[in-house]
Amino acid sequence: MAKLELQELTAMTVGDLMIESEKVAHVQMNNPLEHALLVLVKSGYSVIPVLDPTYRLKGMISKTAILNEVLGMERFEMEKLSVIKVSETMLTDVPVLKKDDLFLTALKAVVNHAFLCVLDEEGYFEGILTRRAILKQMNRYLHEQIHFNSAIDKTNV
Ligand code: 2BA
């Protein structure tokens, strides 16, 4: 693989690094919490996007929020899982990215978020950008720099 230059890294866009929508586990607003918990447990993820039937982003739902919602005084009231809808429990204030946002914008965003949803101009969901994808590129860049610099040091001895 060719050495990754700084200009190439910083010219990368969210679109180059994101996971496409077809591969992202998600639920819909009208789903009961029971369904959301099933998708979360089966997929292994702790938080996933909530979409409407036309694929517009509406929020995020997490295992923790669901368990908090059904936590009673002395026990988990699991019977509530089939009554409460995802729309009543989801987080709605979620930061987003656009496909043409650059690497440094994405890097800043993943400092505080494990992933961000990627939307088009009309709010339609296009995929997600994960912290993993950003760290993978940073890791590659830094290791190649260190390797390159130590090779130069050796030739100067
Ligand atoms: P978490 O579910 O908290 O997962 C944290 C990290 O654990 C992930 O980081 C990944 O490295 C690993 N991981 C968890 N579940 C996994 C699985 N089923 N398969 C492979 N690796 C798994 P990232 O890859 O950076 O993802 C950050 C967050 O993005 C995840 O946080 C999850 O909330 C969301 N996410 C990632 N891929 C997703 C997908 N295909 N569908 C829905 N949400 C996804």
Question: Could you report the per-residue pLDDT of 16-54, keeping only the tens digit for each?
Answer: 999 999 999 999 999 999 999 999 999 999 999 999 999
Domain boundaries, the chain: 6-155
- Return the best residue to mutate from 130, 131, 135, 136 for the ligand 1 pocket (most ligand atoms within 8 A of CB): 130
Element (H, E) at 119: strand 115-119
Superfamily of domain 6-155: CBS-domain (3.10.580.10)
Q: What type of residue sits at position 97?
A: L
Q: Name the residue of 45, 61, 111 to mutate for ligand 1: max ligand atoms within 8 A of Cβ.
A: 45
Q: Considering only residues 133 and 150, tell me which one the structure prediction assigns the higher pLDDT.
A: 133
Q: At what angle do helices 103-112 and 131-156 cross, to 10 degrees?
A: 120
pLDDT for 109 beyond 90:
yes
What is the H or E stretch that residue 146 is in? helix 131-156
Structure tokens given for 75:
């026990």
Asked if residue 113 lies in contact with residue 95, where contact means CB atoms within 8 angstroms, the answer is yes
